[in-house]
């Protein structure tokens, strides 16, 4: 009997000291996430169909609380709760009208000698997510010095990314094995050793710095964007007060690229819409007084070549009305550009037009034509001044019938009330949120340039319609490297575009560049048409000059027709950096649109039409001519109309740097 008691005591001791494993699976059962405390430290691991994807990976924080640095706290598990959900919600606008949220959830409540912390895990059929929650407690005011979230891959992936130091996220995504990467901007896209694909990012970034991803000992580790003070980078990353929840860290994990592209995990991890009446939020295509400035033909500031004049704006508004566009962007309409250009110390005014821009008359003319003026607010990175002017600026816009504004923050560092900060720091994330919420009060939609990387906030505030954070078309006007390579637009859909809509500004119809002859758009005309389908934005600007569109009326018809609000979207075929074939159905009709683009390699593609409904349809096909080539013959395009039906296949030739755009409507 004595020996029996000893054995039972040993078993109890082993149960107390050995790691305990808690698991949650995806609804389809293919993916399993395990949580484990290892010597008091939280870790998680992930398996797909029984095969390891992530080996035990670290979690947690280094915190400063009440003057003490809290590092390597020993946690104990207080409780574990499980939940599940299967709901469908309707978007205000987007790539789909309806989105399903189906997941299983596990919440672990942890306690240490100093703090309590919960970790919530969610598993979807196409990926997983988790976030940290700090309930209200004695130590409520916390400084985050480091987030210890990591990703320990069972086998090394190939990674597409841009470096952490990429200004405004305007870089070209490059591919390399993980161990060859340094600190990267989030998001990243990966191809796993077994052929699976993964997309790693964050969702619902609220009052917290944006994450970056550092490679440490061939593993991925989270590097939060730090605060700055007096020009110096601090150890401090975030200042939080419990109760507090972190952004979600999520990974899409799928067998195929079409499945990865179809994932809506990021949107599902954001809160439902907080705007009760969304009827004023309108997706639209628009024109812009913009491209000529980048070509250095017009100026933003007042000059003999000033772009945003009453005369020019009237011409663009009339052309927009005649061709079905919703509005015209006016850049350089307001005073203060001389300060931006270093001519003097003037600051921008967001209510004072230059004297050659009659804002009252133009607002009346736009209303008469049934189109809108999209305002432009460049801040030159002076977020503190812009915040002081927000209400006045948006009241001015509202009074003049301007429903949307393109905001800009062209500066290596953003000046806030807390001094100069990185554009993805906690302080600037707070600023962007204030802009969005203030704009919503005045029924103003936002196109944010030089932003923090999108994280799905458009679900909660759908007036945040699009953002930059991308190496867009403007680089093809003046980049010293000659412009973005053809492969760039074949990589973006699988990388940056997975984070949310982007204001890339497609639609160049003239490829000569007399100002910088070595720099140009690396595409054919058909490729530019296809980008209206391939690269999604609910505010989509056709960027070229009126006269260039007038030279190609037949091809311009596709831009007139294509919508920017969709009922459903799908990747038909593609390979990262090589080619993309996207199909989308119009939200307000049965029409389908297809866009295909290729890199520097010409190729023949086959497009199955099995997504069409029954009956006969007519396809209008805008394709590269047989002799088209982005360098030598970019304008060569063929336009064909033919009857098609479900089950048929279209065989299309894509020239080097080429593309194809197709509209399919019912007969």
Catalogue the active-site residues.
Answer: 474
d(CA 244, CA 141): 10
Are 464 and 458 contacting, i.e. CB atoms less than 8 angstroms apart?
yes
Are 524 and 634 contacting, i.e. CB atoms less than 8 angstroms apart?
yes
From residue 504, alpha-carbon distances to 200, 402, 435 in Å are 22, 22, 22
User: Exposed/middle/buried for 450, CB within 10 Å: 0-12, 13-18, 19+?
Assistant: buried
From residue 277, alpha-carbon distances to 481, 513, 520 in Å are 46, 45, 43
Give the chain's length.
667
Maximum Cα–Cα distance across the chain: 103
- Give one DSSP letter per residue of 396-461, joined into a string: HHHHTT--EEEEE--SSSEEETTEEE-TTSHHHHHHHHHHHHHHHHTT-EEEESS-PPP-SGGGT-
Residue (of 270, 351, 329, 342) closest to 301 by Cα position:
342
Are 541 and 507 contacting, i.e. CB atoms less than 8 angstroms apart?
yes
d(CA 524, CA 530): 10
d(CA 525, CA 533): 14
User: What is the token pair recorded at 424?
Assistant: 């993805």
- Dihedrals phi, psi of 31, to nearest 5 degrees: -115, 135
State the residue for tokens 């590092």: 71
3-class secondary structure, 389: helix
Are 63 and 69 contacting, i.e. CB atoms less than 8 angstroms apart?
yes
Are 499 and 454 contacting, i.e. CB atoms less than 8 angstroms apart?
yes
Are 546 and 507 contacting, i.e. CB atoms less than 8 angstroms apart?
no
Burial pattern 545-583, b for ≥16 Cβ within 10 A else e, equals beebbeebeebbbbbebbbbbbbbbebbbbebbbbbbbb
Residue (of 291, 356, 381, 281) closest to 328 by Cα position:
291
């Amino acid at each position: 009997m004595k020996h029996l008691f000893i054995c039972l005591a040993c078993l109890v001791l082993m149960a107390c000291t050995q790691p305990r494993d808690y698991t949650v699976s995806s609804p389809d059962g293919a993916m399993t996430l395990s949580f484990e405390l290892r010597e008091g430290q939280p870790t998680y691991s992930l398996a797909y169909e029984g095969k390891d994807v992530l080996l035990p990976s670290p979690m947690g924080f280094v915190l400063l609380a009440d003057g003490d640095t809290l590092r390597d706290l020993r946690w104990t598990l207080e409780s574990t709760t499980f939940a599940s959900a299967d709901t469908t919600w309707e978007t205000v606008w987007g790539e789909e009208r309806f989105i399903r949220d189906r997941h299983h959830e596990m919440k672990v409540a942890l306690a240490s000698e100093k703090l309590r912390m919960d970790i919530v895990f969610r598993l979807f059929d196409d990926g997983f997510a988790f976030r940290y929650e700090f309930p209200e407690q004695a130590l409520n005011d916390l400084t985050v010095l480091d987030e210890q979230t990591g990703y320990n891959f069972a086998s090394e992936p190939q990674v597409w990314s841009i470096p952490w130091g990429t200004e405004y996220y305007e870089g070209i995504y490059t591919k390399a094995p993980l161990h060859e990467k340094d600190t990267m901007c989030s998001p990243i896209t990966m191809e796993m050793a077994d052929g699976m694909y993964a997309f790693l990012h964050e969702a619902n970034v609220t009052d917290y710095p944006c994450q970056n991803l550092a490679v440490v000992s061939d593993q991925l580790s989270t590097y939060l964007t730090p605060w700055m003070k007096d020009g110096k980078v601090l150890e401090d990353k975030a200042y939080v007060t419990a109760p507090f929840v972190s952004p979600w860290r999520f990974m899409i994990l799928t067998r195929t690229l079409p499945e990865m592209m179809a994932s809506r995990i990021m949107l599902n991890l954001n809160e439902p819409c907080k705007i009760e009446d969304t009827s004023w939020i309108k997706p639209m295509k628009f024109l812009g007084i913009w491209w000529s400035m980048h070509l250095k033909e017009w100026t933003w500031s007042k000059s003999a070549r000033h772009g945003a004049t009453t005369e020019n704006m009237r011409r663009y508004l009339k052309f927009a009305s005649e061709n079905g566009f919703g509005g015209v962007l006016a850049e350089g309409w307001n005073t203060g550009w001389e300060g931006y250009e270093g001519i003097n110390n003037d600051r921008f005014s967001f209510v004072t037009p230059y004297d050659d821009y009659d804002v009252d008359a133009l607002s009346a003319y736009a209303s008469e034509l049934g189109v809108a003026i999209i305002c432009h607010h460049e801040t030159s990175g002076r977020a503190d001044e812009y915040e002081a002017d927000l209400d006045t600026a948006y009241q001015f816009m509202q009074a003049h019938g301007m429903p949307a504004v393109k905001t800009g923050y062209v500066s290596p560092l953003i000046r806030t009330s807390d001094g100069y900060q990185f554009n993805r720091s906690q302080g600037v994330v707070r600023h962007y949120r204030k802009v969005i919420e203030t704009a919503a009060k005045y029924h103003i939609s936002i196109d944010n340039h030089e932003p923090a990387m999108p994280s799905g906030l458009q679900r909660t505030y759908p007036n945040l319609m699009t953002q930059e954070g991308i190496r867009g078309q403007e680089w093809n006007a003046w980049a010293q490297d000659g412009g973005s390579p053809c492969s760039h637009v074949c990589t973006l859909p699988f990388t940056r575009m997975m984070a949310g809509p982007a204001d890339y500004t497609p639609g160049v119809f003239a490829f000569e560049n007399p100002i910088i002859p070595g720099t140009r758009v690396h595409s054919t005309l058909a490729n530019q048409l296809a980008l209206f389908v391939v690269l999604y934005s609910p505010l989509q600007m056709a960027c070229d000059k009126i006269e260039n569109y007038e030279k190609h009326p037949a091809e311009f018809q596709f831009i007139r027709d294509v919508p920017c609000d969709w009922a459903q979207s799908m990747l038909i075929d593609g390979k990262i950096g090589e080619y993309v074939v996207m199909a989308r159905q119009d939200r307000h009709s049965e029409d389908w649109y297809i866009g295909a683009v290729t890199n520097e390699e010409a190729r023949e593609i086959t497009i199955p039409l099995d997504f069409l409904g029954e009956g006969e349809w007519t396809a209008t096909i805008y394709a590269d001519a047989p002799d088209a080539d982005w360098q030598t013959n970019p304008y060569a395009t063929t336009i064909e109309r033919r009857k098609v039906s479900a089950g048929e296949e279209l065989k299309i030739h894509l020239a080097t740097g080429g593309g194809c755009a197709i509209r399919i409507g019912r007969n």
